[in-house]
Chains A and B, each alone.
Chain A
Amino acid sequence: MAPELRPRLILALLLVVALALPPLLGALGQGFYVGFAARVLIMALAALSLDLVMGLGGMVSFGHAAFLGVGAYVVGIGSWHVFDGSPLPFGLPGSENALIVWPLAMVFSGLTALGIGAISLRTSGVHFIMITLAFAQMLFYLAGGLKTYGGDDGITLYNRSELLGLKLSDPQTFYYLCLGILVVALAALLRLRASRFGMVLRGVRDNERRMRALGFPTYRYKLAAFVLSGMVCGLAGALLANASEFASPALMSWQKSGELLVMVVLGGMGSLVGPVLGAVALMALEEGLADLTQHWQVILGPLLLVLALSARRGLWGLLRGRRDHD
Chain B
Amino acid sequence: MITQLVAEQGLNGLQLGVTLFLMAAGLTLVFGIMDVIHLSHGSFYMVGAYLTATFGARFDSYLVGLALAIPAAALIGMAVEWIAIRKLYQRDHLDQVLATFGLIMFFNEGVRMIWGAQPIFLSPPQMLSGTVELLPGLAYPQFRLAILVTGLAVAAGLALLIQRTRLGMRLRAGASDRAMAGALGVDIDKLFTIVFGLGAGLAALAGGMAGTVLSVQVGMGESILILAFVVVVIGGIGSVKGALVGALLVGLVDTLARTVLPVALRGAFGNAVADGIGASLASSSVYVLMVLVLAWRPKGLYGA
Contacts and interface: CB of A to CB of B under 8 A. Distances in A.
A123 B109 contact: no
B91 interface: yes
Q: Majority SS of interface residues in chain A?
A: helix
Given A60-B94, A261-B97, A307-B98, A302 B106 contact: yes
Contact of B106 (A126, A266, A301): A301
A182 B206 CA distance: 45
A134 interface: yes
A317 interface: no
Contacts of A142: 280, 284
A123 B39 CA distance: 22
Contact of B294 (A131, A151, A261): A131
B298 A134 contact: no
A304 B88 CA distance: 13
13 contacts: A123-B294, A126-B31, A126-B37, A126-B237, A131-B294, A141-B283, A297-B109, A302-B102, A304-B101, A304-B102, A308-B88, A309-B95, A309-B99
Interface of A: 54, 60, 119, 123, 126-127, 130-131, 133-135, 137-138, 141-142, 144-145, 147, 151, 254-255, 258, 261-262, 265-266, 269, 295-298, 300-305, 307-309, 311
The 10 closest A-B pairs by CB, nearest first: A145-B280, A304-B102, A301-B106, A301-B105, A297-B109, A308-B99, A134-B287, A298-B109, A305-B102, A308-B98
Nearest to A255: B222
A147 B270 CA distance: 11
Interface string B90-121: 01011111110111111111101100000000
B61 to A, nearest CB: 31
Given A123-B298, A130-B229, A262-B101, 20 more contacts: A126-B37, A131-B294, A133-B229, A134-B290, A135-B287, A137-B284, A137-B287, A144-B279, A145-B280, A258-B97, A261-B97, A265-B98, A295-B113, A297-B105, A297-B108, A300-B102, A301-B103, A301-B106, A301-B109, A309-B95
Given A126-B233, A127-B233, A138-B287, A145 B103 contact: no
B276 interface: yes
B283 A269 contact: no
A299 B258 CA distance: 39
Contact of A265 (B95, B104, B290): B95
Given A301-B106, A305-B84, A309-B99, A269 B233 contact: no
B112 A127 contact: no
Interface residues of B, number: 48
A122 to B, nearest CB: 8
A141 B91 contact: no
Contacts of B110: 298
A211 to B, nearest CB: 21
B280 A305 contact: no
A305 B86 CA distance: 12
Contact of B98 (A123, A151, A262): A262
Given A130-B233, A258-B101, A309-B88, A144 B280 contact: yes
B280 A141 contact: yes
A204 B55 CA distance: 54
B281 interface: yes
B91 A311 contact: yes
B288 interface: yes
B224 interface: no
Contact of B284 (A60, A127, A138, A255): A138
Given A60-B94, A130-B229, A311-B91, A141 B101 contact: no
